[in-house]
Each structure stands twice: as structure tokens, then as C-alpha cells.
Amino acid sequence: MNEDSDADADASADAPCDAPLPPGRDPAASPEVRHEAYLVPGFDAVARMLCAALHVPLVALVLVEGGTFFFAPGSSKLPAVSGQLQDLLLSAIARDASREELDVHEHAGAEADGASTPLRFFASVPVHTLTHRHVAALCVIDFDPRASLSEADRVMLADAATLAGAAVVLRSYIRRVDPVTQLPHRNAFFEDLRARAEGGARSLAIVAIEVAPASRFNAFIRAMGHQYADALVRLVAMRIQEWMAQDMCLYQVGVTRFALLLADTLAFADSASFDRLVARLREPFDCQGIPLTIQPGVGLLEMPASKLTTGDALRLVMSASHTAQQSVRGWSHYEQAQDELHQQEFFLVTELSEALNNPASVAANELELHFQPRVDLRSGRCVAVEALMRWHHPSLGWVSPARFIPLVEQAGLMRCLTDWVFQRGLQQLSSWLRDGLDIHLSMNVSSTDFEADLVPRLLLAAEHFHVPLRYIELELTEDTFMHNSEAVQQRLAQLSELGVSIAIDDFGTGYSNLAYMRKLPASTLKIDQSFVASIDESADDEMIVRCIAGMARSLGFRVVVEGVETASIYRTIRDMGCDEIQGYFIARPMPGRDLAPWLARFEADGIVEGDAL
């Protein structure tokens, strides 16, 4: 813990009511103490021990930055703070030194005011942080005259001061306002929320605002640095403040997250107001001369005060803001179903990560690689198989890769998954090649794979399993090619020179720019199954597939048609002059061990034109 910087962040600290003020501070300028959490944690325990060990009825801790905390043991009441005590407390922090007043009544010469008991003994020790910053004075007080402290008492007092030093640092850590925006932070939010519930509010109205998805904000920090990021967050806070009504309180509850407590839920009825907030937040920010846009999400939560479990309130409203971030409108009410989906996604990613990273785990056995045959239409032979991930979840059953692959990508786990596929896929391919099967393997890779060292990873795995590179094909979607053109092109060129084939997957669902695709070192183009499914009913789809296939072939691509489910689709495709087909009509994806027997049957029977499935 960087205690000094945390304590510094605490510079605008509170001054408790009835407490003496540090020199030079204006009482009117001192904010009130509002929160229990702002007390010095552990002070009571330290003071109780001091009272017992030194037999004193009162202990006080005076903070240099302002604020005094008293402790009187048992049922003793805290005495009213007299002018005499005020003076002593102030002088205790004025100097960074220990002090002992044996008979205050006579020495200090202070007049006891009528309301308070005159003190007779006062001793104080300075309190330091671990880096020797003088932050407070710990004082023991008696109302009876007494002898000087013994050596053991002094050691005890010094030890207590050390503990108090740690507690003061901890206090500033816990209760500080956010140093970037100077807004109250999460603790204050929870305390206020609880106070409202305890203060009789029947329902709580909370708004959460997420500035940008974490990945995007981190990319922004990487590109621009923390200073810019801080400046941006401040600008966002200012726009929210401009929008806010007088009776709303704004908190910074995370680096890129704000929360608002509304006076009541009436404001939720004014949807135009939230449209205005989103529109304003979507306008470009001029962040230190650089124009920037964010992707805000505003979540709304109405919660009965009786149901308040503070930790959850924030989680629920954040779930709504997360949903809102992806929506066109940019704001949305909390919905339980959506929240459950987020939770489930989180657990899926956690479990998948465990399965991928820990081969010894139970979860690891839930993952399998299946292989789907691709058949060459001219020769009628199965020339390749596509590797497809399969996950059998213990409670959810089969989870589709269409569902978990995007989650893996968002969670930054794609590298692990692709490595896993390389290992399993190439191990299987190597065993097929050893058994004399002449078959190619295509594996799907995603755009995030290209950010990392994809090429050496593939080469290493191929070498490990003694697989010649010409047997390998990588499938990339159009978007991958378009988004990272420079880096991707370089790596693809390298792979293609080494003999690895490249296929454009799901063609027709993205930019579908054939002229651009031709510039890439890809040799195969896979037409997406969405056009193929209704090719027999839709003349448009038939025309699209026919045109893409014709153009792609004339540009030199090998054309593969995905999703061939029926005999009639097969016949239509065959007559278009495509090169390969893949689909349930030929075979569903199957475990590696089933391929050899399937191949034997297929080679004997050829394509049987009765419908499959």
C-alpha cells in the first residue's frame, strides 16, 4: 500500500463535529463527517487496550489534517470538550514530539468551564505512518492527578501509536474520494444507499453509467496513457453533472463507472431525459485536443428498500448498463433474464478457461474436437476435414461454439483455445497420416489470434506432431481480413509461403468484397451456409450462391459450399460447378476416432443421393 499517496489523496479530510480544528483551518470550510466508515478503523480496539493498560478514562486521537476521535471505556460517557482540552489537543499535533502534563490544572493554568470536568493529566505521542509522516497525536487523559508514566507505559503508548498510524492510513484508503474526479467513491455510495433505506425510503432509484467496454478503455490507455484517460473520465463526469437534477448524487464507483442515486423513481418515467443523457455522452469529447467518442451504457434500477443488499444493488444496475452499452438506445432498465445471462456467460468463460488451461481438471474432459468431412465434387473423395470445438457442459449439455467462441474472444482467451485446437487437431491429423489416410485438416482461427504469435505457434505444433504444413489450412472470416489488414496480410503471406492454405470462411456475411479478397494470399473461399439453407426456395439465394461461386472461381479461388443439408441442395450446388461441399448431407461433425470407419464406408458407397440426417 502506498500509504503516503493515499493519505495525500485524503488531504481534504473531514473535521468531526465538536472536534478541535488544526491550526489555520476554517471551521466553516470543513466538511462534515457523514459516514461510519470514515472513522479510524481499529481505533476503538487500540484505545480500549490503552485504557486498560494505563488505567486512564479517556483516549483521543487528533489528526493533523483535522478531526478528533475520543474513546472512553465501558459505560463512561465522553466528557464535553472543554476549551482546556481543546488547547491541549491542538498543541499535541502542533509539534512532532511526545509530551506529558502531570498536573494540568496547575500548570496549564486553564480555567475549567463550568460544564466540563477539569483534567489533571494529559500525555501525548506523535503518530507516524510507516514512511514517518506525522499524521496524528495519540493522547491519554485522566481527570485525577497522577504520577509520571512508567517506562512500560511509555512503550505501550508508543506501540499503540504505531497501530494508530496504520489505522489512519487505512482510514484514508477506505474513505477517500476518487482522486481523479474528486467524486465520492463506492464506499460512500453504499453508505448513502443504506442510509436511504434506513431513513424510510420505500424504494431506491439507482442509475449506473458505464463509460466504455473495459477492453476499449484499456486500449485507449495503452494508446494515450493514463493522463488522457483520467482527463476523459473527468469530462464524462462533467457531462453527467450538467445533466443531473439538483436532488441527484453522483459517485464514481469504478474507473470507468459512475452511479447516481435519485431522490425517487419518478425520474425513470422521463425517458426523453435519458435519451438526452445518452445523446450528450455520445457526442465526441475534446480530450486535450484529441476528439474521442465513448460507448456509454446507462442502466436503471428500481429496488425496494427492503430488498437492499448493497453489494447486489450495484451489480444489478451495472448489468443493466452493460446491456445498454450494446443497445441502440444506450439506456435500459434492469432485467433479471439479462442479468442471469451475463452471470451464466461469466461462469461459462471461467469454466472454459479452467478446461483449456488445466488439462488435469474435470472440465478438461468436457472439451472435444470434432471433425466434419469436406468432399471434392469432381472426384467424389473426402479431401479434408474441418476441426470444430465441442463442449459438453455438465449441467447445460452441449454448448454451441457459436455461443462460447465470442465469449472466449471477449475474455481474451482465444490464444489458449486456438493452441488447444492446434494441439488436438494436429495430433489427430498426424495419427491419420501415419495410418495412411490422405486428408487435409482445416482449423478456425479468429482475429485476436493474429495479434499474438500465431505463426510460430502453429509451426511449433506442426513440427511437434511431424505434420507437413501442406496438410494444414486455416479458416478466417472476412472480418478478420478486413479489420487487421496490415498485420494479418503479413502473417498470411508468411504462412502461405510455408505451404499452409488459407480459406475465407463464412463468405457473404461480411463485407463480401471479392476484389479485395483476391489481393489476399487465400486459396479457398467458403460460401456461408445462410445462403445455402433456402437455396431451393429462394431464387435470390440461388442467384447469390451462383454469382459468388462463378466469380470466385474465375478469380482462382477453390469454392467450398457450407451447410449442404439435403440431396436437393447437393444437386443444385453440384450443377453450379463448385469445388467442394460440406454439410450434414455428407456427414455431421464426428469425433476423430469415427472418421476412419466413416471414410471406409464413404469410399465404398460414394455420395448417396437419398437425403441424409
DSSP 8-state class, residue 280: H
Nearer to Mg ion, 321 or 444 (CB): 444
Q: Binding segment for ligand C2E among 199-207, 250-258, 280-288, 396-404 (CB under 6 A)?
A: 396-404
Q: Residue 224 is placed in which grid cell?
A: 494515450
447 binds ligand C2E (CB under 6 A): no
Q: Give the residue, chosen from 475, 542, 579, 580, that forms a contact with Mg ion under the rule CB under 5 A.
A: 475
The mark string for 487-516 relative to ligand C2E (x by CB under 6 A, - otherwise) is ------------------xx----------
* Smallest separation, CB 446 to ligand C2E (Å): 4
Q: Binding segment for ligand C2E among 12-20, 202-210, 358-366, 385-393 (CB under 6 A)?
A: 385-393
- How far, in Å, are 195, 322, 394, 410, 474 from residue 415 at the CA level? 47, 25, 24, 12, 15
Q: Residue 351 is placed in which grid cell?
A: 469454466
566 binds ligand C2E (CB under 6 A): no
Q: Give the residue, chosen from 400, 490, 513, 534, that forms a contact with ligand C2E under the rule CB under 6 A.
A: 400
Cα of first residue to Cα of last residue in the chain, in angstroms, is 63
Cα 192-195-199 angle, rounded to 5 deg: 140
DSSP 8-state class, residue 306: G
Query: Which residues, other chains included, contact 387 with Cβ-Cβ below 8 Å and sequence gap of 6+?
Result: 369, 370, 371, 421, 424, 425, 441, 442, 443, 444
421 binds ligand C2E (CB under 6 A): yes
Q: Give the residue, chosen from 505, 542, 579, 580, that forms a contact with Mg ion under the rule CB under 5 A.
A: 505
* Smallest separation, CB 568 to ligand C2E (Å): 13
Nearer to Mg ion, 258 or 531 (CB): 531
Nearer to Mg ion, 192 or 506 (CB): 506
* Smallest separation, CB 595 to ligand C2E (Å): 15
* Smallest separation, CB 564 to ligand C2E (Å): 6
Q: Is 48 exposed, middle or buried (0-12, 13-18, 19+ CB in 10 A)?
A: middle
CB 240 within 8 A of CB 224: no
Q: Binding segment for ligand C2E among 71-79, 265-273, 514-522, 559-567 (CB under 6 A)?
A: 559-567
- How far, in Å, are 472, 592, 604 from residue 434 at the CA level? 15, 14, 21
CB atoms within 10 A of CB 295: 15
- List binders of ligand C2E among 323-382 (CB under 6 A): 372
The secondary structure of 505-558 as a DSSP string is: EEETSS---HHHHHTSS--EEEEPHHHHTTTTT-HHHHHHHHHHHHHHHHTTPE
- List binders of ligand C2E among 179-218 (CB under 6 A): none
Q: Is 184 exposed, middle or buried (0-12, 13-18, 19+ CB in 10 A)?
A: buried
Nearer to ligand C2E, 51 or 399 (CB): 399
* Smallest separation, CB 526 to ligand C2E (Å): 7
389 binds ligand C2E (CB under 6 A): yes
Q: Binding segment for ligand C2E among 77-85, 303-311, 398-406, 540-548 (CB under 6 A)?
A: 398-406
Compute the Cα dihedral for 540, 541, 543, 548 and give only its sign: positive
Nearer to ligand C2E, 82 or 442 (CB): 442
**Residue length of the chain:** 613
The mark string for 553-582 relative to Mg ion (x by CB under 5 A, - otherwise) is ---------x--------------------
Q: Give the residue, chosen from 204, 352, 382, 445, that forms a contact with ligand C2E under the rule CB under 6 A.
A: 445
401 binds ligand C2E (CB under 6 A): yes
Q: Is 548 exposed, middle or buried (0-12, 13-18, 19+ CB in 10 A)?
A: buried
The mark string for 60-99 relative to ligand C2E (x by CB under 6 A, - otherwise) is ----------------------------------------
SS3 percent helix, strand, coil of the chain, rounded to 5, is 45, 20, 35
* Smallest separation, CB 233 to ligand C2E (Å): 34
* Smallest separation, CB 199 to Mg ion (Å): 58
Helix (H, G, I), strand (E, B) or coil at 132: coil
Nearer to Mg ion, 57 or 401 (CB): 401
Q: Binding segment for ligand C2E among 189-197, 280-288, 319-327, 440-448 (CB under 6 A)?
A: 440-448
Name the strand (E) or helix (H) holding 375: strand 367-376
Nearer to ligand C2E, 10 or 562 (CB): 562
Whole-number CA gyration radius for the chain = 35
Q: Binding segment for ligand C2E among 6-14, 43-51, 546-554, 582-590 (CB under 6 A)?
A: 582-590
CB atoms within 10 A of CB 281: 22
Q: Binding segment for ligand C2E among 71-79, 328-336, 458-466, 578-586 (CB under 6 A)?
A: 578-586
* Smallest separation, CB 444 to ligand C2E (Å): 3
Helix (H, G, I), strand (E, B) or coil at 602: helix
Q: Which is nearest to 586 in space by CA: 604, 560, 610, 607? A: 607
SS (H, E, C) 25-46: CCHHHCCCCCCHHHCCCCHHHH
Q: Give the residue, chosen from 28, 147, 337, 402, that forms a contact with ligand C2E under the rule CB under 6 A.
A: 402
Query: Residue with the closest Cβ to ligand C2E?
Result: 583
Residue 68 contact among Mg ion, ligand C2E, none, beta carbon within 5 to 8 Å by kind: none
- How far, in Å, are 33, 391, 520, 526, 548 from residue 515 at the CA level? 68, 37, 10, 16, 12
CB 539 within 8 A of CB 573: no
* Smallest separation, CB 526 to Mg ion (Å): 5
527 binds ligand C2E (CB under 6 A): no
- How far, in Å, are 175, 414, 456, 526 from residue 522 at the CA level? 58, 22, 19, 11
563 binds ligand C2E (CB under 6 A): yes
Nearer to ligand C2E, 508 or 583 (CB): 583
191 binds Mg ion (CB under 5 A): no
Nearer to ligand C2E, 303 or 388 (CB): 388
Distance, in Å, from the CA atom of 436 to the CA atom of 605, rounded to the nearest integer, reads 20
DSSP 8-state class, residue 202: S
Distance, in Å, from the CA atom of 156 to the CA atom of 152, rounded to the nearest integer, reads 6
* Smallest separation, CB 470 to ligand C2E (Å): 21
Site size for ligand C2E (CB under 6 A): 24
Residues that bind Mg ion (CB under 5 A): 444, 475, 505-506, 562
Residues that bind ligand C2E (CB under 6 A): 372, 387-389, 400-402, 405, 421, 444-446, 475, 505-506, 529, 562-565, 582-584, 589
